[in-house]
Amino acid sequence: MVDFTLTDEQKALREMAHDFAEKEMRPVAWEYDKDGTWPEEVLRKAWELGLMNSHLPAEYGGPGASYMEGTLIEEELGWGCSGIGTSIACNGLATAPIHIGGSEEIKKEYLGMLTEEFKLASFCLTEPDAGSDVSGMRTTAVRQGDKYVINGSKSFITNGGYADYYTVYAKTDKDAGHRGISAFVVPRDDTVTVDKKEDKMGQRASNTAAITFNDTEVPADHLLGEENHGFKLAMMTLDRTRPGVAAMAVGIARAAFEFATNYSKERIQFGVPIAMHQAIQFMIADMATEVEASRLLTWQSAVLLDEGRRNTLQSSHAKRFAADTAMKVTTDAVQVYGGYGFIKEYPVEKLMRDAKIMQLYEGTSQIQRLVIARETLLPRRAEEPASEAPAAEPEKEAAAAPEKEAAAA
């Protein structure tokens, strides 16, 4: 049965997240955007309320929200300020590979750490010369006795300048393409350098850094999953986090839609509010439909995960459509505001800048189309379980209960 009715608990969760977005994010969002101010105060409040590590299961001290519930939270965070929201959600992206591939000891230590006190983790996949082409990475991890030594640079790392630990992808076999990549948990120490903080077009409140690992040593048990199975771990992580990114894009689009709708009722041209003009009505109507459609795709991609089913196709549908919608709706919102929309004093200018990254991070809209094309041409993949493991025993993992580790991106 298909039912889009939220439970009372889900409604309460959404209300709590909305309240937080309205009272703690919106009042500072435009100010923080100006100078790219690190929103630590807001992040700490989100942590206290359980909005930061919402996906972490109870055994590691988290509230254990489902993927579906994660999308409710992320939409509200995106509505409040997607820059701050991205920093709030980042622990979800960083911890997903730990949850999928980490040993119980590693999970207890590194997932538990995030719920015990306010701490941050970052996901280190992208490199200066390896963005969409993950296999092109150059960072290496060399086994030396009971440890690995990591060397290399990572770019566009959310919260990278403030993270307490990193989940890092590195080549353990340089000649094996995607089958030579492994993933590690890497605690921050003096060998990890933050090379620069990026000065971004949008989502300026979220910290985005370039990070270098210089002979960084990690114990061998910090390997996640099996050696050389890191590429699949990365793909499985993104399947789980893209619904959350899509939800954030829905939040941005909804915010722009609301601003544009309200403005169109106040702005008088040709003697009537511009909302009376069909040219504006059609734009508002398209925005409304696209926001709804994005949300439904997003919910579908999350519910599949909650059911333990593979959602690769649906999470790319959701991420691609919601991101492109956020860009279109925010651009149209600027259009509704006319010249004022182009001025920083008005809210939609920031939303249009913020929306752009949704088409870029966690897989560009072009990569999503590539995944959609492949999944459509090879539909068998859609029936595979979400919990397909990167390790040696896929059958065992396939039978596992639905995971709830990472609704947030």
Active site residues: 362
Asked whether position 405 contacts ligand COS by CB under 6 A, the answer is no
Asked whether position 281 contacts ligand COS by CB under 6 A, the answer is no
Question: Of these, 16, 370, 382, 391, which contacts ligand COS (CB under 6 A)?
Answer: 370
Asked whether position 235 contacts ligand COS by CB under 6 A, the answer is yes
User: Which C-beta is closer to ligand COS: that of 84 or that of 409?
Assistant: 409
The one segment of 185-193, 235-243, 334-342, 350-358 that binds ligand COS by CB under 6 A:
235-243
Map the footprint of ligand COS across residues 104-163, applying CB under 6 A.
Answer: 125-126, 132, 134-135
Residue closest to ligand COS, measured at CB: 363
User: Which C-beta is closer to ligand COS: that of 142 or that of 378?
Assistant: 378
Write out the two tokens for 249: 């894009």
Interface mask (CB under 6 A) for ligand COS, residues 195-234, using x and -?
------------------------------------xx--
Asked whether position 277 contacts ligand COS by CB under 6 A, the answer is no
Asked whether position 238 contacts ligand COS by CB under 6 A, the answer is yes
User: Which C-beta is closer to ligand COS: that of 87 or that of 264?
Assistant: 87
Interacting residue ranges for ligand COS, rule: CB under 6 A = 125-126, 132, 134-135, 178-179, 231-232, 235-236, 238-239, 312, 361-363, 367, 370-371, 388
